[in-house]
Chain A
């Protein structure tokens, strides 16, 4: 009487092609959506929200993103500065815009991302400081509440 069947010693190979296809598609998806421009955004800033804010349709030719903390510190290109010390940085941006063909500072978009608890007077001080560099086109950025 035979008790054991002889086991097959062949290696079982599944078809990996669909899995690899799907994995590559997932990688492509995440690569397209990944956002490396975190330097423009300060994560600690909690924006106020509004249903009426208009999502920017066209990116301005030249933009300056200023993140404003509740204590009046401005986070610009990853560096923290007081409002009083912004003049040289803003002048450099105006010069950089001129080199890119934007001669009139009024055409530079200043995007202010301010924390919701910041005193409005501080926001106004920031705008006044920008005006010293002849910047006059401002956008107050808020969270779009849908």
Chain B
């Protein structure tokens, strides 16, 4: 008996349907893809009024009060630090940073471990944009080498929960 071994035929799979669906998936993901801007936080601890009263016996941290006054259309008109220094020029936010930095240095607080607290008293109409700028100004300073120098870690608002 003669056994003949035939050469195996090459099996060809039709890839067209798979490539079609893969391209459709690719188009879907490309169309729905959105580049999301990086976001960051300023953390604010606002203890309840009752808890604040309970903690009166504790030693209070150094406090810097910063008043932000609104002008026309909710734009900022002036910054008053500790009811004494008034900042009005276009450089008011860098000036605020300088004042806070000087205050920390005078109190002998090493910047990275400062317990000093800043309390903001803000006009109702002031645009939130300026509030964030002021919080940024007291929080730290961007150094020329791209690093950040931290100043104030504790921020609170006056008249919230009090």
Contacts and interface: CB of A to CB of B under 8 A. Distances in A.
Contact of A127 (B40, B125, B127, B160): B160
A139 interface: yes
A123 interface: yes
Contacts of A55: 38-41
Residue in A16, A52, A136, A144 whose Cβ sees the most chain B Cβ within 10 Å: A52
A140 B46 contact: no
Nearest to A53: B40
A143 B122 contact: no
Contacts of B39: 47, 53, 55, 141-144
Contacts of A115: 128
B161 interface: yes
Mostly, the A contact residues are mixed
A54 B41 contact: yes
A73 interface: no
B46 A134 contact: no
Contact of B19 (A20, A26, A48, A120): A20
B33 A33 contact: yes
Contacts of B127: 116-120
Q: How large is the interface on B (under 10, 10 to 19, 20 to 34, 35 or more residues)?
A: 35 or more
Mostly, the B contact residues are mixed
Interface in A93-146: 111, 114-121, 123-124, 127-128, 131, 134, 136-144, 146
A119 B128 CA distance: 6
A34 B48 contact: no
A136 B38 contact: no
Given A48-B133, A138-B45, A119 B124 contact: yes
A50 interface: yes
A42 to B, nearest CB: 13
B131 A120 contact: yes
Given A16-B15, A23-B22, A121 B40 contact: no
Given A117-B129, A144-B37, A30 B29 contact: yes
B92 to A, nearest CB: 16
Contact of A30 (B33, B128, B142): B33
A146 to B, nearest CB: 7
In the complex, the 3 A-B pairs of residues with the closest C-beta atoms, listed nearest first? A53-B40, A121-B124, A30-B29
Given A53-B40, A120-B123, A139-B43, 14 more contacts: A48-B129, A52-B40, A52-B42, A53-B41, A55-B38, A55-B41, A111-B41, A120-B126, A127-B157, A128-B161, A136-B47, A136-B48, A139-B42, A142-B39
